[in-house]
Amino acid sequence: MAEYRFKIGETIAFQSSLRNRAAAAGHYQVIGFRPNDGDEPTYRIKSELERHERIARESELKWVS
């Protein structure tokens, strides 16, 4: 089972990669975990500025200071 660094409900910053270039700026909330695809843990995240949720790799997320 994957070790998840971020917890559900936590506010995080999302640094979009090339595949997520149109991501809304600002903070996101972790709303769930995704099954590990082998590379690294992935998360379901949601911004209040968007209607849909996003899938993000752990390397694309960081804690809000």
pLDDT in tens, 16-64: 766 656 778 789 999 999 987 778 899 999 999 999 999 999 999 999 8
12 has a pLDDT exceeding 90: yes
2 has a pLDDT exceeding 80: no
Nearest to 63 by CA among 11, 3, 9: 11
What pLDDT shows up at residue 11?
A: 97
Backbone angles phi, psi at 14, to 5 degrees: -110, 120
pTM: 0.84
Integer Rg of the chain from CA = 11
What pLDDT shows up at residue 3?
A: 87
